[in-house]
Amino acid sequence: MVYKDIYSLKDLRKHYNLTQLQVSNLIGISSRSYREKENGLVPFSQIEIVKLIKLFELEETDTYQLFYKDYLKSYRKVKMISISEYKKLKI
């Protein structure tokens, strides 16, 4: 990564002295949506990632660390079920 001591999108945003509201406006999403995405609760869309790469002048190799690692942590908390358990569900 080009930036020293930056390990998250939040660190990067703070490095540029930007608020979540400012970044959300720059990439065209609501501040609530940006906050959820920055905290790893919801993944960024590919278009949003491209906008952030351009905004922060990132290298594409930095995208995993900044955009996917937190989301994958939360995804691992999802309980997987078997096909037989799935068939029992009333959907």
CB-based contact 40:73 (threshold 8 Å): yes
Asked whether the whole model's pTM tops 0.75, one would answer no
**What is the rounded CA–CA span in Å between residue 53 and residue 25?**
15
% of the chain exceeding 70 in pLDDT: 65
Please check the confidence at residue 58 and state whether its pLDDT lies above 70.
yes
For residues 59 and 52, the model is more confident at: 52
The one-character DSSP state at 66 is I
Judged against a pLDDT cut of 90, whether residue 49 lies above it is answered with: no
Structure tokens given for 11: 């660190």
In angstroms, rounded to a whole number, what is the distance separating the alpha carbons of residues 83 and 53?
A: 39
Task: Over range 57-67, report the average pLDDT.
Answer: 73
State how far the Cα of 27 lies from the Cα of 49, in Å rounded to an integer: 9
Structure tokens at 22: 């400012």
pLDDT at 30: 97
Per the CB < 8 A criterion, the answer to whether 26 and 51 are in contact is yes
